[in-house]
Amino acid sequence: MRKNNFVKIDDWVKDIIVDPLSKQALRLSGNGEYLLSSYGRKYPIIGGVYDLRLLNNETTYDQKIWKKGQIEFMKYSRSEATSDNTNYDSELNGVREVYEEIPIDGTCLDVGGHQGKLRAFLEANQKYISCDPYLNIFDKVAEHTNLIKTYPFLLEPVNFLSCDAEFLPFKSCVFQIVHMRSVIDHFLNPELALNEAYRVLENKGSLIVGVYVNGGKQGKVCLKDRIKENIRTVLPYFGIHKYTDHHVWRATYKELTDLISACGFEIIKAHWQKGYSDTVCYIRALKKVELTRNFI
């Protein structure tokens, strides 16, 4: 397997990596091809990328929905890379104002961080890791000229490893920022992912969640959107799949903020991204210690 030149693991990252399940230390196998847990599990290193994913996701209904969505997302990403008409400048310029309002300050874990486009908003030498279950995310990145024109730093190695948001392979209390953009709606289990974010953040560390919310700022899904949604749900029964929504969780603003609060965070800012008619929200929330589960 050829070495992936877009990925690195700095020494400070090696120091905080643990087994995603036991949260105990891992050791490198003699041939350098695996990370070994203390209890019998081994994780491959593929072209230099640590593959610390845990689940096969082939069993329950939820897992199958997640997997289907993830496969569709990977297909879409690959097709974008080959026939590319996307205007990445407008994508990047569109989020500038967001990160002026909600800056990324401190050691940052970007969960579901893809190729690490968030680097556009970091200081030079700021500590940053992108983690994502999409192992081959850097395939063809160098040939994706339109993308590289806007994000030239994607050709520079980034701290990246493959894992699930629900089983983060990092020690506790080691990050100042956990960033989740357009991902909480993709996770297999958003609550577990927020529990993990809580665990790896230091006290008063910031969780930043950016996502499209159902019903927007008003929290009301208009009749037209409800009808569209109903049509979208029945189309597969007629063999039409191209409009299927593969997101796992389409939350309203209230559902989203309730979950963030229930997972031990205090919401200190909500910013609605300009140009999206108050449907895309970025939340900054601080970790509060003494989280207790509050339902019977």
Ligand X SMILES: C[S@@+](CC[C@H](N)C(=O)[O-])C[C@H]1O[C@@H](n2cnc3c(N)ncnc32)[C@H](O)[C@@H]1O
The residues binding ligand X (CB under 6 A) are: 70, 73, 111-114, 117, 132-134, 164-166, 181-183, 186-188
Q: Are 245 and 185 in contact (CB under 8 A)?
A: no
**Shortest spacing between CB 117 and ligand X, in angstroms:** 5
CA distance from start to end of the chain: 50
| Per-residue tokens: 57 | 């996701």
* Least distance from ligand X to the Cβ atom of residue 179, Å: 8
Give 183 or 213: the residue with its C-beta nearer to ligand X.
183
Nearer to ligand X, 131 or 174 (CB): 131
If the CB atoms of residues 29 and 136 are measured against ligand X, the closer one turns out to be 136
- Least Cβ distance, residue 115 to ligand X (angstroms): 8
Nearer to ligand X, 113 or 205 (CB): 113
Within its chain, how far is the Cα of 29 from the centroid? 29
- Which residue's C-beta sits nearest to ligand X? 112
Nearest to 118 by CA among 166, 153, 165, 71: 153
Considering the complex, state which of residue 47 and residue 73 has its C-beta at the smaller distance from ligand X.
73
Please, what is the minimum distance in Å from the beta carbon of residue 252 to ligand X?
A: 19
The tokens for 89 are 């400048």
Closest approach of Cβ 53 to ligand X, in Å? 9
Q: Smallest distance, Å, CB 231 to ligand X? A: 23
Query: 35 φ, ψ to 5°?
Result: -105, 135
Using CA atoms, how far residue 239 sits from 31, 165, 232, 233, 236, in Å, is 49, 33, 12, 11, 5
Cα–Cα dist 19/293, whole Å:
25
Of the pair 113, 264, the CB lying nearest ligand X is at 113
